[in-house]
Chains A and B, each alone.
Chain A
Amino acid sequence: MTDEGLDPVIHAPARLRLMVTLTSLPEGDNLSFTRLQDLIGLTPGNLITHLRKLDDAGYVQINKTGGGVSALTTVALTRDGRAALDRYTASLRELLDRVELPRQP
């Protein structure tokens, strides 16, 4: 089975988990960096690296508020990000169907 047609920005285990986690929030909601880290189970450095890639693609919006000990970083999925994940899952379904079809009698 190949991964042709799958968005390479999303098609990495950690970023896929990030996208699925963020898409579970209703539109207009965001998740703090620390809670996201807790949910995904990545080190801060790795999380930042993956978030940067998603941010560069316009799939997430990262906001920083406050400063010092009260600094808060929040992450939210953008509309483009939600649409990209929808496209990704549709392509994935198509690929999996193609593999499963020959098995049917």
Chain B
Amino acid sequence: MTEGRGMRNDGDARDAPDMDPASAAVIIEAAREHVQRELTINRSAILATWSIVYLLGYGVVWLSVKGQQPFRAPAGWALALLVALAALALGVTAQLTERATSGVGGMSSQRRRIYALSLVVGLLGVYVMEAALSSAGASQRVLSVYGASAPLLVAGVILVAGTAAWLSWYMFGLGAWLIAVAATSGFAGPAGVWAVDALAVGMPMLLLAAIQLRRRL
């Protein structure tokens, strides 16, 4: 659109009877492009941010447990870094979503709220269950596999379920991939699970971010 954010047309309240059909077609095309750009969530940046969480956060946790004989547990500083990166990614996701959807109300807004709430409730369940497993005497080996993969499983299920609301096969594919990785990465053992999750989730996310960026440009 030729008029950007913040520009004001004080004389535009009057009608413009001299607008010819060709100009009208140009206005329609420009307005469509402008609104599409402004109201679309920047998925590319969100995916790139989360790929850093997996590649760096999970990668650092893996470095802290690799070669432990016998296996003990991930280092506290590595887990703290992972939590900090995840919190940062959540903040970036929230800000980018807010930027695109600010002022948009109605059904989509309600859908987004319920979707975000599902993720929060699901992740809360994961960590309460981890405490329950620990209290029931689960070994550090089991807790490590659970801690790495259970959040992925919940995120995957929520993405797949979200397809029902947004009818997005892209979301379904990503969710199904997260479920597959979460379900199988535990076979790599309590240390290897962190490396497998880091690469199997982080790399495709980075690739998807690049694809989305290309589409956006």
Contacts and interface: CB of A to CB of B under 8 A. Distances in A.
Interface residues of B, number: 38
B5 interface: yes
Q: Bin chain A's interface residue count.
A: 35 or more
Interface string A20-41: 1100111111111011101111
B95 interface: no
B37 to A, nearest CB: 10
A92 B20 contact: no
A1 interface: yes
B3 A41 contact: yes
Contacts of B8: 41-43
A96 B103 contact: no
Contacts of B164: none
B22 A20 contact: no
Interface string B26-40: 011001101110110
Interface stretch (B10-18, B190-198, B199-207): B10-18
B68 interface: no
A56 to B, nearest CB: 14
Contacts of A8: 15
B108 A17 contact: no
A3 B23 CA distance: 11
B22 A41 contact: no
Interface centre among B32, B34, B35, B103 (most CB of A within 10 A): B103
B19 A12 contact: yes
15 contacts: A1-B21, A2-B21, A3-B24, A16-B24, A16-B27, A20-B27, A20-B28, A25-B106, A30-B105, A35-B102, A35-B104, A40-B3, A43-B9, A49-B13, A92-B21
Interface of A: 1-3, 6, 8, 11-14, 16-17, 20-21, 24-32, 34-36, 38-43, 45-46, 49-50, 74, 76, 89, 92, 95-96, 99
